[in-house]
Structure 1
Amino acid sequence: MSNKAAAEKILEGIGGASNVKFMTFCATRLRFELNDGSIVNKEALDAIPEVMGCVPQSGDRYQIVIGGAVGNIYNAIKALPSMSDGAESAAEDNASASNDELKSSLRSSGVRGKVQWIDAFFEYLSDSFRPILGVLLGASLIIALAAVLDALHLVDFRGEKSAGWVFVDTMWHTVFYFLPIMIAYNASKKLNVDPWLGAAIMGALMTPEFQKLATMASTTSTVDPELGITTKVADIFGFAMQWNDYSGQVFVPLIMVAVLALVYRFLQKIFPENVHMVFVPFFSLAIMIPLTAFLIGPLGVWIGIDLGNGLAWLNNNAPFVFALLIPMLYPFLVPLGLHWPLNALMLMNIQTLGYDFIQGPMGVWNFACFGATAGVLLISLREKDKTMRQTASGALAAGLFGGISEPSLYGIHLRFKRVYSRMLPGCFAGGLVIAILGSQYQGVKTTAFAFTSLLTIPVFNPMWVYAVAIAVAFIVPMLLIFFMDYRTEEEKAATKK
């Protein structure tokens, strides 16, 4: 089906253009706010080949899982003549990013949602990272390419790199170096603050002038004999300021924007609207840049280092437990959005320790997830189930080559009761492989933030341990599902109707 035809079918399934109040999309899903959610034809939507799954939300919100082609389908829907006549299409920053009905039911069971501010906190983390997943994925593939060349000894990166390969490094390093600015921009949008203001405040701590403070004669340096960490303190008009390199930082922009939102709203209240454009940005910069440099920045760095050191201690002192804990937890964290703090820690570990040790065990969960999808695909081929075959093949491609689990989770796994009981043994088996084979290496590590896909296997060390672990994690749920099915008898009967 062409994108235009799919767009027409999707629009018809949700009740037509007149039923669309707002529309946007994220990494894999179309997000709708409808005038009347009760008239959506879920069966018709599920029958569309491009649709991997439908997720009704609370109120009149609706999500449709598409996968990697979501941007093209979104543009095709926007381009339909009926949309320009009967519906208002809102920009992403004006659209709701509330969780789906499944997440709401899980929260109400006591995992999340009873305390509103906790719920909002995880949404804040999620929406601060989600828009940059594409560039993170692109950068991780460039890193993977370099790792493959190095592993095959086609290019030697262990010595001094040539100018050409230094230039290639800029292609991926730009994402991680300026990551704090990107996060500050997204976080500001989430909290309805001028996003360029958040980006400018974070960018001030990454300018050449701020970097110069580290080498000035008035700046003192002290070395912690136990940790081997050098602390630099700059003299700013007689006040001591701890200097840090904020490139690649994650927690600093998140904390800074949360404080900025309070300052921003206060300034909007005390100044007349006709002078907001001048005085609100001016005082926001004048207040928040010093506050971030003197207090929020060092605090964010300290939080990231301590959290990373805590998990590093567990990995070093109880690697067996750690290797099993991460892949067994992720299947429950990801559907609830609770995995974002761990993702932030991965980036922080690379910045502070020079490597990360969470992504290896996390890859075990991902491949167990993809293995379960492969099992579903095999059954759909055996039963000649065209709809499930299309859903599973699209989700499997997104997983194996992009490291994206959402199409598998929302399109298949969370819709059928027995999938998790087949997938968790794969998580355990893969984690056990890392626990045993990786014990002499203190686990599987990587020096780059990489989406755990087939293309990024070379960035992990030792690569052979990681490859064996994810292979086991993939094969176990695939075989369990193929021979034991993923559906209850009631679910089987429903699919045959």
Structure 2
Amino acid sequence: MKYEQLARDIVKNVGGKENVNSVVHCITRLRFKLKDETKANTDAIKNMEGVVTVIKSGGQYQVVIGNHVPDVYKAVVDVGGFHSQSAADDENADKQKSSFIDIIASIFTPILGVLAATGMIKGFNALFTALGWLEPTSGTYQILNAIGDSLFYFFPIFLGYTAIKKFGGSPFIGMAIGASLVYPTLSTLTSGEPITTLFSGTVFQSPVHITFLGVPVILMSYASSVIPVILAAFFGAKVEKWLRNVIPDVVKAFLVPFFTLLITVPITFLVIGPIATWIGVLLGQATLWLYNLSPMIAGFFVGGFWQVFVIFGLHWGLVPIAINNLTVHGADPVLGTMFGASFAQIGAVLGVWLKTKEQKLKTLSVPAFISGIFGVTEPAIYGITLPLKRPFIISCIGGAVGGAILGFCKSQIYMVGGLGIFGIPTYIDPAGGLTLGFWGAIIGMVVAFIVGFILTLLFGLGKGKESAQVSDTPAAAAGQNQAGVRLSSEVIFSPFKGRVTSLSLLKDEAFSSGALGKGVAIEPSEGKLFAPVSGTVSALFPTNHAIGLTSDKGAEILVHIGMDTVELDGKFFTAHVSQGARVEKGQLLIEFDIAGIEGAGYSVSTPIIVTNHDQYQQLDISTVKTVKPGDRLIEVKAK
């Protein structure tokens, strides 16, 4: 067994086979479900020859291997005595066991892009007004404001879709539940004298203006709300599932949604909505009370640990709190204090770029710095600062200092907007313009960047990190790939028709950081993957979402269609080749349904990477923005 020792080392350092609930693999990584992740020796695994990196995400302990992961997986299964299963089976088996963080992430992730976009529009509208470029009474202002408010005002409709989908219900039923909550006529019924008042003399005192079948209804304002629709969607999904088991198949199509809505919506207005709203108010007051104990300490804590939260996915727990604060109080200081963290990160990256003599680090630093300016810090974290350790700690210090400044200035966000520099307009108070809080955000951002940059320059990257490091394998030194094929310079052609983007923009850090290989990403506009070279199919995952190729000249290429598409279990993918098959450049390899994949909630952004790039002297990427199959995409030059 070629990988027996590696498998033994991995099993030992994940805490032993008794610490493993399950292990599966996709095209690039082993995906462990561990009983206790604290028992895993992550540093030891990362330093193993044959391991690219380790990623903890979505409740999985992912050991990134590369193209030969099927062989390593087989060895791990044999060594550990585990049951062999597919990644998709494992994902489906655990859908109902998702953690709170995973649930929140699944609900909010699909709409973050639009939420950021509408927030940016609203923020720039506020900026233009503060600078005197627009009048609030102008038509331009009103239309821009309508765009900016569109998603946030009707938030329950969007969250109804994503939440009920996460809970296993029908998305359009979730949208109907959300739309009921923001039905405009109901807001007009609160004028005039109430019929009665419930809970008089308490903090929950509520006037009643209407009844439902004689039961008093407490009308609340659900526009922009978060908690009520999520709880209603959870309840609705349970009701729908029960109805599907009791209603005959012949009438399910219309009777299931009929009774689901008829049961869920009234109960939401009568019980779920009021209780959830009161919970939201109390949650908002509690967070603001904690913040007001010492805004500087709160800012220091959130700013300093924000990047740690991001690594472990804990930041998702703060997102609904922040949105709830925006709904209840019109502003939020919780997310407002993390603004300097990303700038401290890119300050440290710039320091690494100037300090190191290692060419690989210099090459990775430039795109990581650029993406970090716009708030995408995963390439910087996973590709540079976290592996070096000291720059990551320094960036946390910079984020803490920036957060303390934001706390001191009482900086708050007044809308959810863009990341990085696009987040600046979110600190503009629509009622007060350029306040101290706004200037505090600017100062905190600049100081965090300077602290990260200067400390990295002063304290370096750790012993031995400033000098170049070369650790070529015997095969690499001889100019051969892992299969023993002598490497030659060659051109790798585009396998798709579509738009070319940077790997650093991908949401999967193993690809975006360059840990798995160098290359580009393509947003396909046509669901056909053609062979970019002549060679053999070295890997084809059973779900047909990813393929590995070895060219006749030795290049090892991985094409991974979409992000996390292994979870589709082969749906929407059709392969026209098999593993080990000989292929010619331009040959159709895989067909896939773009609309179906995106409709299921997955991105089709596809990395095309050269996994043995370190065995070449140089790798050049074409600068064209749109390509078609057969266009020059990547050129590798042999040593």
State TM-score, norm by structure 2.
0.55
> Does residue 409 in structure 1 map to residue 376 in structure 2?
no
2:390 alignment counterpart: 418
Of residues 455, 460, 466, the one that matches 2:441 is 466
> Does residue 154 in structure 1 map to residue 120 in structure 2?
no
Of residues 157, 171, 187, the one that matches 1:211 is 187
Give distance in 2, aligned partners of 1:257 and 1:204. 12
Deviations 1:379-417 (A, max 9, x none): 4xx6372x544543333333323x333333334344333
Of residues 314, 317, 328, the one that matches 1:352 is 328
CA shift at 1:177, angstroms? 1.0
> Does residue 393 in structure 1 map to residue 366 in structure 2?
yes
2:357 alignment counterpart: 383
Give distance in 1, aligned partners of 2:144 and 2:338. 28
Give distance in 2, aligned partners of 1:130 and 1:173. 19
CA shift at 1:131, angstroms? 0.9
Assess if the C-alpha contact under 8 Å between 1:56 and 1:62 holds in 2: no
1:129 alignment counterpart: 108
2:418 alignment counterpart: 451
Deviations 1:57-104 (A, max 9, x none): 75999799xxxxxxxxxxxxxxxxxxxxxxxxxxxx9995999xxxxx
1:89 alignment counterpart: none
> Does residue 317 in structure 1 map to residue 293 in structure 2?
yes
More off after superposition, 218-227 vs 355-364: 218-227
1:188-337 to 2 correspondences below 5 Å: 188-215=164-191, 233-337=209-313
Deviations 1:312-337 (A, max 9, x none): 11223322322222213322222222
Deviations 1:260-308 (A, max 9, x none): 2222221122223343212221111111101111111112212221111
Q: Secondary structure at the match of 2:210?
A: strand
Assess if the C-alpha contact under 8 Å between 1:33 and 1:61 holds in 2: no
Of residues 428, 431, 434, the one that matches 2:400 is 428
Stretches of structure 2 that go unaligned for 5 or more consecutive residues are: 1-23, 31-51, 67-87, 428-434, 473-639
| AA at the equivalent of 2:391 | V
**Closer/same/farther in 2, CA of residues 488 and 304 from structure 1, 3 Å limit:** farther
Assess if the C-alpha contact under 8 Å between 2:196 and 2:208 holds in 1: yes
Give distance in 2, aligned partners of 1:199 and 1:219. 31
Higher relative contact order (Cα pairs below 8 Å, separated by 6+ residues):
1
1:18 alignment counterpart: none
Give distance in 2, aligned partners of 1:363 and 1:345. 16
1:103-118 to 2 correspondences below 5 Å: none
| AA at the equivalent of 2:226 | V
1:170 alignment counterpart: 146
1:7-26 to 2 correspondences below 5 Å: none
> Does residue 477 in structure 1 map to residue 452 in structure 2?
yes
| AA at the equivalent of 2:165 | K
Q: Secondary structure at the match of 2:224?
A: coil
Give distance in 2, aligned partners of 1:259 and 1:487. 53
1:111 alignment counterpart: none
**Closer/same/farther in 2, CA of residues 188 and 228 from structure 1, 3 Å limit:** closer
| AA at the equivalent of 1:392 | S
Give distance in 2, aligned partners of 1:424 and 1:98. 37
**Closer/same/farther in 2, CA of residues 483 and 296 from structure 1, 3 Å limit:** same
Deviations 1:136-173 (A, max 9, x none): 1211221232233233332344xxx2233111101110
**Closer/same/farther in 2, CA of residues 447 and 395 from structure 1, 3 Å limit:** same
Give distance in 2, aligned partners of 1:354 and 1:451. 18
CA shift at 1:219, angstroms? 5.5
Assess if the C-alpha contact under 8 Å between 1:33 and 1:96 holds in 2: no
| AA at the equivalent of 1:459 | T
**Closer/same/farther in 2, CA of residues 59 and 304 from structure 1, 3 Å limit:** closer
**Closer/same/farther in 2, CA of residues 363 and 95 from structure 1, 3 Å limit:** farther
| AA at the equivalent of 2:447 | V
Instruction: Kindly report the root-mean-square deviation, in angstroms, between the aligned alpha carbons of the 2 structures.
Output: 3.8
> Does residue 139 in structure 1 map to residue 118 in structure 2?
yes
Q: Secondary structure at the match of 1:383?
A: coil
1:107 alignment counterpart: none
> Does residue 183 in structure 1 map to residue 159 in structure 2?
yes
Aligned residue pairs, count: 397
2:339 alignment counterpart: 363
Assess if the C-alpha contact under 8 Å between 1:198 and 1:257 holds in 2: yes
Assess if the C-alpha contact under 8 Å between 1:128 and 1:183 holds in 2: yes
2:26 alignment counterpart: 34
Assess if the C-alpha contact under 8 Å between 1:323 and 1:431 holds in 2: yes
Assess if the C-alpha contact under 8 Å between 1:219 and 1:235 holds in 2: no
Assess if the C-alpha contact under 8 Å between 1:369 and 1:423 holds in 2: yes
2:586 alignment counterpart: none
| AA at the equivalent of 1:329 | F
Stretches of structure 1 that go unaligned for 5 or more consecutive residues are: 1-31, 39-51, 65-92, 100-115
Give distance in 2, aligned partners of 1:491 and 1:224. 70
More helix by share: 1
2:611 alignment counterpart: none
**Closer/same/farther in 2, CA of residues 94 and 486 from structure 1, 3 Å limit:** farther
